[in-house]
Structure 1
Amino acid sequence: MNHGFLIDMDGVIYRGSELIPGAEKFISKLRREDIPFLFLTNNSQRTRRDVATKLMRMGINVEEEHVFTCAMATARFLARQKPCGTAYVIGEGGLTQALHTNGYSIVDHDPDYVVVGEGRSFNFEMIETAVRMILNGAKLVATNMDPNCPTQHGLRPGCGAIVAMLETATGQKAFSVGKPSPIMMRHARKELGLATSEVTMIGDTMETDILGGVEMGYNTVLVLSGGTCRDDLVNFAYQPGRVVDSIADLCDALELVAGSAA
């Protein structure tokens, strides 16, 4: 089968700290049959190695090459826009490492960009600093615009919530690189080395995973094990190519999934 998969994680592979039944079987089947795949995440906190380690500890046998984060997509985008540029970062290790890997320096004054990702370590002083930088000409870039992040204890503010403060204070709109942006979705396809018609996006969120896949012309599969219920589908002008209860339903139907209409 000349096909590959882009797979969201939270709500598809696991919920909180619990592996979703069937996830390990599905990934093992992909590896056994040498089918290319990438885990796509809009969380910029962890490096791809950290994400792979988390998955391995949960029983999913993968390497870091199977992980593609919005931090990586953002850093690659900025490196093409302005090679060897500078950034003031509101975020954590996954984002700063990605920027360093792509030739960027992290600075605390006169940056080319203010780059915002997820994190719990930011404070209002950092917000004030970022506002002044943006008003002085730095461009505002978001790794994603997700308004919140799921945790074991419920939702917490996401990257989009932090960005909203900066947009409101400065009057400047952020440029976002993560899902559903075609920048991240196209990068991921190129990582797989496949054509548009050879890619299936599996996700649990209509506004990011499925929207991004539909806009790129990928095959799309919505799983109902995460943040979307079947009744929610009537609220969207676009629809997934296939809807299943969980990734377990895909284990014995890879060819059917690959051939589903986007």
Structure 2
Amino acid sequence: MQSSNLFEDLFPSLDGEQAFTLYEAVKDRLPFASHPTNSERHSGLLDVAPSVDAFVFDAFGVLNVGTTPIPGASDCIQELRRLGKKVFVLTNAASFNRNETFEKFNKLGFDFTHDELVTSRNAAELDLASFGPEHCWGVAATDTFRIEDLACQSLEITDDPETYENVSAFLFLSVQNWTEARQALLEKSLSQNPRPVVIANPDIVAPRGEYFSVEPGYFGHRMDRHYGIDVHFHGKPFPSVYDLVEERLQGSQIEPGRICMVGDTLHTDVLGGAARGWKTALVTDHGLFKGLDPELYIDKSGIRPDWMVGSI
């Protein structure tokens, strides 16, 4: 398994321990949070429902694994609705636009409304608008990306060096088509002409069966650490996505301590929710900690959820 050498290598294949080390290495860039001394273990979220008015779910490892819904997840959502709980999905997946995200969860068998789906891309697009209409954005995206999806001037950056010089800022939605050659072109261009970079998916890694691949957050932290570039991160654990959830809860009179972030990771889901003053629940059977002892990593990181459940 190739080591990342703390963001020196491009496209390393990492094991879980190396992925954890990368997140620990950037803790000074992540929000600060207080955590409980102990975590309560429960069989599922219905056990803690009396203490929560709104549940905010991560997707991978909580609701689905790839294109497969986790057994019982949809039933849990329906029961929480019946109990009068608000439900949201908060995902760092930035490849899809608003309608594509809705269709994804609909195909998985979930009946979330558009307003219940909050993505890191939503927050990133709001940030693009704040830069002003004069900016032209160079976008790293997937094969299905359409320039017209963004309400701003943009170009897809590829292998042509001129495209890197013809934009005034950069946006990472995905690294599906990103290459070492493109990263080299970007870093050369930024070293000669520094410009802002917006990362719409701050995940450093993603599970790929037996290993972890790197995600847009990896390249954002690399540029932040080694080149001093002005990098804007949107998505868990950074605050802009939590702003969006709380905006959608306005008028409901729900206090932060009655909101629960439910996820399978410590440095994104649990840390981000706790930094917001929310309760947190770590799911251990399907995502990052499947087959592992989460207590080992909780002790190492100091990031502790309020509750732990095998599955929701």
Q: State the SS of the aligned residue for 1:141.
A: strand
> So what's the TM-score if we normalise by structure 2?
0.68
Whether 1:236 aligns to 2:236 is: no
What does 1:1-262 correspond to in 2, within 5 Å? 3-82=53-132, 85-92=135-142, 100=150, 103-107=151-155, 108=163, 109-135=165-191, 136-151=193-208, 154-164=211-221, 166-167=223-224, 170-172=227-229, 174-193=231-250, 194-225=254-285, 226-228=287-289, 229-231=293-295, 232-247=297-312
2: distance between equivalents of 1:6 and 1:98? 30
The 1:151/1:238 distance shift into structure 2, 3 A limit, reads closer
The 1:99/1:190 distance shift into structure 2, 3 A limit, reads farther
2: distance between equivalents of 1:156 and 1:236? 21
Q: Deviations over 1:161-184 (max 9, x none)?
A: 333554466442522121100122
The 1:198/1:80 distance shift into structure 2, 3 A limit, reads farther
Q: Deviations over 1:126-175 (max 9, x none)?
A: 32443244331311221233222224675322112333554466442522
Give the letter aligned to residue 298 of structure 2. Answer: L
In the alignment, structure 1 segments of 5+ residues that lack a partner are 248-262
Larger radius of gyration: 2
The structure showing larger relative contact order (alpha-carbon pairs under 8 Å, at least 6 residues apart) is: 2
1: distance between equivalents of 2:306 and 2:209? 30
> So what's the TM-score if we normalise by structure 1?
0.80
In the alignment, structure 2 segments of 5+ residues that lack a partner are 1-49, 156-162
Distance apart, 1:80 and its partner CA? 2.7
Distance apart, 1:95 and its partner CA? 7.7
1: distance between equivalents of 2:116 and 2:134? 27
Q: Does the CA contact (< 8 Å) of 1:114 and 1:133 recur in 2?
A: no
2: distance between equivalents of 1:8 and 1:95? 23
Q: Does the CA contact (< 8 Å) of 2:135 and 2:168 recur in 1?
A: yes
How many residues align structurally?
Answer: 245
2: distance between equivalents of 1:134 and 1:170? 8
Q: Does the CA contact (< 8 Å) of 1:201 and 1:210 recur in 2?
A: yes
2: distance between equivalents of 1:195 and 1:130? 43
Q: Deviations over 1:195-231 (max 9, x none)?
A: 4233211111010000001111011111112213432
The 1:51/1:169 distance shift into structure 2, 3 A limit, reads same
The 1:125/1:230 distance shift into structure 2, 3 A limit, reads closer
Give the letter aligned to residue 227 of structure 1. Answer: L
Give the structure 2 partner of residue 255 of structure 1.
none
The 1:55/1:97 distance shift into structure 2, 3 A limit, reads farther
The 1:47/1:153 distance shift into structure 2, 3 A limit, reads farther
Name which of structure 1's ranges 40-49 and 90-99 shifts more when overlaid on structure 2: 90-99
Distance apart, 1:92 and its partner CA? 3.2
Alignment root-mean-square deviation, CA: 2.8
2: distance between equivalents of 1:199 and 1:94? 35
1: distance between equivalents of 2:101 and 2:201? 17
Name which of structure 1's ranges 213-222 and 223-232 shifts more when overlaid on structure 2: 223-232
Q: Does the CA contact (< 8 Å) of 2:58 and 2:91 recur in 1?
A: yes
Q: State the SS of the aligned residue for 1:21.
A: coil
Name which of structure 1's ranges 203-212 and 124-133 shifts more when overlaid on structure 2: 124-133
Distance apart, 1:67 and its partner CA? 1.5
